[in-house]
Structure 1
Amino acid sequence: MPTGDVVVHDVLADEAASYTLRSDVLAGGVSIARSLTLWLAFEGSAVTVERLPGGAAFPRAGVSTRLFTLAHGQVGRYRANFRFRFTDCACDPSWYYEDWVVHVSNGNAAGDRLLRGEPDCVVDNRVHLYGGPARRGNR
């Protein structure tokens, strides 16, 4: 397990990769979070995690969204799913889908809490990708 001020566990199931799970544990704070379209704001020993607007076709996010604030040693879980276009050209209406699970630890979480433990904060922003009601019930 890497050590650092902020450690991120990124789990991605991408249709373009036949939904093969990819799992990365990364340390590096702001630069790592930015690559995942997350923003970190440090306030004393706490860190606030926000989701930045991204390139998803659905759901479209035009502004950043505050996910959670973690005290030192706490873990947060962010779940979301998205529909992306392969190209912005109207001549190619092809889509692909991603399902995200991102765990963020403020400092080193005790034991293996980042990978297997129950998080202190949970945000589940998964939606029905064709526009209907939001998905419910799964954590």
Structure 2
Amino acid sequence: MIVIQRVRVRWSGASRGAPEANARRGFDRPVMLPAPLPTGDVVVHDVLADEAASYSRRSEILTGGVSIALDLTLRLTFEGSAVTVARLPGRAAFPRSRVSTRLFTLAHGQVGRYRANFRFRFTDCACDPSWYYEDWLVHVSNGSAAADRFPGGEPEHVVDNRVHLYGGVARRGNRLRRAADGSAT
């Protein structure tokens, strides 16, 4: 069983300022998994805190095969009991990715954390300059996970691909990877 939790925070271009950032602070943290989790090869707990809903969290549980991860722009590949997690190109306007990126390989029982943020267009038409933004926190567990595993435990692998969405200098610590022994990889 693979358990994925994606926590997204979404806001509009009008809410880029500091007061608005304070309003959404803290919503980008992992939450308890629902108990009991349904059975399936892959179980996804998708959580959204949207500015349009006053940042009240809405969540849904999805189950299925490895193809369900594609909805999260993730690809899961297996080699024995290990699973490799890759980020696929998505529909983000920025940062634009045209190739898949390997995030981490998890041995059975391990958890990986992936952080990213994106700017999206409301429509696919270049004539509409309206944007919305999302901050993602994704945890992937190779094996079943206790309800408090993501908020209460440290992952074995961490990848932080957050960028400065409004222009300017990129955040420090991008592409940080930490192995189980704590060393950077």
User: Does residue 125 of structure 1 match 2:175?
Assistant: no
Asked if 1:76 corresponds to 2:112, the answer is: yes
TM-superposed CA distance for 1:92, in Å, is 1.2
Separation of aligned partners in 1, 2:102 and 2:169: 22
How well do the aligned residues superpose, as a CA RMSD in angstroms?
Answer: 2.3
The number of residues matched between the two structures is: 135
Structure 1 unmatched ranges of 5 or more:
none
The residue correspondences of 1:101-116 to structure 2 (distance < 5 A) are: 101-109=137-145, 112-116=148-152
Residue 61 of structure 1, CA deviation: 0.4
More displaced stretch, 25-34 vs 102-111? 25-34
- Structure 1 counterpart SS, 2:68: helix
Which segment drifts farther, 24-33 or 102-111? 24-33
Deviations 1:61-119 (A, max 9, x none): 00000000000000000000000011122321000000000000001246732342100
CA–CA distance in 2 between the matches of 1:22 and 1:122? 25
Corresponding residue for residue 60 of structure 1: 96
Matched, 1:11 2:7: yes
Structure 2 Cα separation of the partners of residues 71 and 110 of structure 1:
17
> Greater strand percent: which structure?
1
Structure with higher Rg: it is 2
**TM-score, structure 1 as length reference:** 0.85
Structure 2, unpaired ranges of 5+: 13-49, 177-185
Contact 2:160 2:173 in 1 (8 A): no
